[in-house]
Amino acid sequence: MKSIHWSTAFLYTVLIVYAVITFLPFAWALSASFKPLSEIAEGGIHFIPQHFTLANYRQIFTQEPLFGRWFLNSAIAAIFITLFNLLFNSMAGYALARIRFPGNQFWFFLILAALMVPGQITLLPKFLILKSFGWLNTYQGLIVPGAINATFIFMMRQFFINFPRELEEAAALDGLGRFETFFQIVLPLAKPALAAQTIFVFMGAWNEFLMPLVVMSDPEMFTLPLGLNAFKGEYISYWNYIMAASMIFTLPALAIYAFFNRYFIQGITFTGGKSG
Amino acid sequence: MKSKLEKIWRTQAGREAVKGYSFMAPTILIAGIFLFLPIIYAVTLAFYKVELLGEVSYQFVGFKNFVRMVNDDRVWKALKNTAEYVAIVVPIQTLLALCLALVLNAQIRGRSWFRVAFFLPTVTSSAVLTLIFMWIYNSNGLLNRILSFLGLPTYNWLGDPAVALKGIMIMNIWATAPLFMVIYLAALQDIPASLYEAATLDGANRWEKFFYITLPFLQPVTFFVVVMGVIGTFQLFDQSYIFSAGSGGPNDSTLTIVLLIYQYAFKNLDMGYALALTLMLAAILMISTLIQRKLFREERFD
């Protein structure tokens, strides 16, 4: 009996220590975002600001005119990328799972092969292609190449393969065509899979650094990660501003995570479990 | 009669083909232009000298780009840094993920709460994480204050070539382990409870159960986690780029393969050479996956 108590206490200690390790950097950053520079410079470990101020946040929005623009650029890119992915990946996944068209197996094989190709390999050619389209420094240059995702096409295919056929057969008897069946019957019932996709794709697009870095060179077209990096270069040791900017950037992703986290875990275990 | 049936079958199949391809059209179009074409491009252009300034022009140079790599000190430096990074980060993050998953898999109250909390770094952008850690690493930052409080030596984490890459390693282990923890946790929950019950009846103790049931069951998922870890760490870029303001410094100590590719492509405008380096990275990733497959002698539980 005693040994069980000991081991449980040990497990909780491990978990709590790790939770502290996880939270500490965030807490320290959040705290810095509410401190004046003088307090940051003088040192000392105070997680609760001694001279609490909102001036850092005010400074960002009033003195950094592009900050709002970067936020908007990130939002536009992330929202459109998410919408296109939801639509296109589901359509492709459905076709691969349900429609017996010539080349079905071939395309499925290509999608699987694409899963193995790391994004960095195609980065430079993508840049050349976007350049020849005249799409550098445009929203479409960021959105269109990111509008599909092999991982989620695969995930949607697996989802639709296990989808009950009876519903579609009933819809067909009612005279609905493939498209109506897909949009009116199948998609609304695919909500859990779509939710998992939403959160992954949105987070990925919102946090992406390398692709915007390559596509966007005009500061007006920066997304927030690029903006933050530029901001860092400009305000080198003004950690109070840099941390405030970081916190603003983190909030939307955190809100989505808090809202959808159940689907997030499901999605990871799905993609992870299937591949393993 | 027969031809009529055949005709119906044909139109039916024809209709399915049209529908199939209209569902697939966006994917085929986008993947064609931004995935398959780039792969062909990458393989071909690595044998060219690409002039990017003004009108883009190409000149065939054969294996010159590949030969050049051998004598390029920065390539060796980037390879060494990246290899060191992979060799340290992957085992530690895999082990940490496994330990956390085992702890969470015990009968613990508030399990989902811990899981949500641990996951925070995974959903935060690499740019934000890097900035937060640079803030913690700066010479009179939190880490050094804690270290000196504990009587341990302090370091110039951002400026000292001997420790800069270690700083990025710590950050990435911290940020990535929870993702793999979730994958391990799911695998642990898939192990049939009956196996443990049978082992208990046979008089197996806790360690025997761990070594003879849990570990063998986790082998496929460990393969997955290690492969994903290796692929992810080999492609380290964001953190190095932000950390060193794009230079790979101090003294090339945070220079990684992808950062070097980026520099050659966009700072030196040497696209052909950068693509040759890209192919080398792809080859390394493929070979390392094959080696790991051999090592794990992967048994699939399909």
Identify whether A37 is part of a domain.
Answer: yes
Question: Does A228 lie in the same domain as A167?
Answer: yes
Identify whether A58 is part of a domain.
Answer: no
- CA-to-CA distance for A75 and A202, rounded, in angstroms? 9
Q: Quick one: tokens of A179?
A: 């498209």
List chain A residues with CB under 8 Å of B179: 268
Radius of gyration of chain B (CA): 25
- CA-to-CA distance for B158 and B138, rounded, in angstroms? 6
Question: Does A94 lie in the same domain as A174?
Answer: yes
| Chain B 97-156, residues with CB within 8 Å of chain A CB atoms | 99-100, 103-104, 106, 108, 114-121, 123-129, 131-136, 138, 140, 142, 145-146, 149
pLDDT at position A4? 60
- Give residue for tokens 């987070």: A203
A4 touches chain B (CB under 8 A): no
| Domain tally, chain A | 2
Q: For the segment B32-49, what is each residue's pLDDT rounded down to a tens digit? A: 999 999 999 888 989 988
| SS3 category, B60 | strand
Question: Does A210 lie in the same domain as A246?
Answer: yes
Range of the domain at A42: 1-53
For residue A53, the 8-state DSSP code is -
Question: Does A129 lie in the same domain as A157?
Answer: yes
Identify whether A145 is part of a domain.
Answer: yes
pLDDT at position A1? 45
Last residue of a domain, one of A53, A75, A93: A53
How many residues does this entry show for chain A? 276
Q: For the segment B122-158, what is each residue's pLDDT rounded down to a tens digit? A: 888 999 999 999 999 988 888 988 898 898 988 888 8
Question: Which chain B residue's Cα is nearest to A261?
Answer: B116
Question: Does A119 lie in the same domain as A246?
Answer: yes
Q: What pTM did the predictor assign? A: 0.88
More confident site: A168 or A87: A87
For residue A207, which phi and psi values (nearest 5 degrees)?
Answer: -95, -10
Task: Using the CB atoms, write b or e for B140-164: b if 16+ within 10 Å.
Answer: ebbbbeeeeeeeeeebebbeeeebb
Identify whether A237 is part of a domain.
Answer: yes
Cβ distance of A99 and B278 shorter than 8 Å = no
Q: For the segment A145-162, what is each residue's pLDDT rounded down to a tens digit? A: 999 999 899 989 988 988
Question: Does A206 lie in the same domain as A111?
Answer: yes
For residue B57, which phi and psi values (nearest 5 degrees)?
Answer: -135, 155
CATH code at position A251: 1.10.3720.10
Question: Does A146 lie in the same domain as A14?
Answer: no
List chain A residues with CB under 8 Å of B290: none
Taking residues A43-54, what's their average pLDDT?
82
List chain A residues with CB under 8 Å of B268: none
| Closest of A242, A253, A251, A250 to residue A59, by C-alpha | A242
A78 touches chain B (CB under 8 A): no
Taking residues A8-37, what's their average pLDDT?
90
Question: Does A150 lie in the same domain as A20?
Answer: no
Does A187 score more than 50 pLDDT? yes
Q: For the segment A20-31, what is each residue's pLDDT rounded down to a tens digit? A: 999 999 999 999
Range name among B89-93, B258-262, B281-285 with the lowest pLDDT average: B281-285
Please say whether the beta carbons of B19 and A103 come within 8 A: no
Question: Does A145 lie in the same domain as A11?
Answer: no
Identify whether A59 is part of a domain.
Answer: no
Tell me the torsion sign for CA atoms B4, B6, B12, B14: negative
Q: For the segment A220-267, what is each residue's pLDDT rounded down to a tens digit? A: 999 999 999 988 888 877 888 999 999 988 888 888 787 777 777 666
Residue A29 Cα, gap to closest chain B Cα (Å) = 6
- Is A85 exposed, middle or buried (CB count within 10 Å of its CB: 0-12, 13-18, 19+)? buried
Q: For the segment B44-70, what is each residue's pLDDT rounded down to a tens digit? A: 989 988 877 777 788 888 888 999 999
Question: Which chain B residue's Cα is nearest to A177?
Answer: B19
pLDDT at position B301? 44
Question: Does A102 lie in the same domain as A69?
Answer: yes
Tell me the torsion sign for CA atoms A177, A180, A184, A188: positive
Question: Does A222 lie in the same domain as A147?
Answer: yes
For residue B57, the 8-state DSSP code is E
| SS3 category, A255 | helix
Q: Longest C-alpha distance within chain A, in Å?
A: 76
Cβ distance of A91 and B220 shorter than 8 Å = no
Question: Which chain A residue's Cα is nearest to B223?
Answer: A276
pLDDT at position A88? 96
Question: Does A47 lie in the same domain as A69?
Answer: no
Tell me the torsion sign for CA atoms A207, A210, A212, A213: positive
pLDDT at position A274? 40
pLDDT at position B293? 82
Residues 6+ apart with CB under 8 A from B116: A261
Taking residues A117-136, what's their average pLDDT?
89
* Residue A229: CA count within 13 A, CB half-sphere: 26
pLDDT at position B11? 75
Alpha carbon B269 to its chain's center: 26
List domains and CATH numbers for chain B.
2-64 (no CATH), 67-296 (1.10.3720.10)
Range name among A2-6, A123-127, A157-161 with the lowest pLDDT average: A2-6
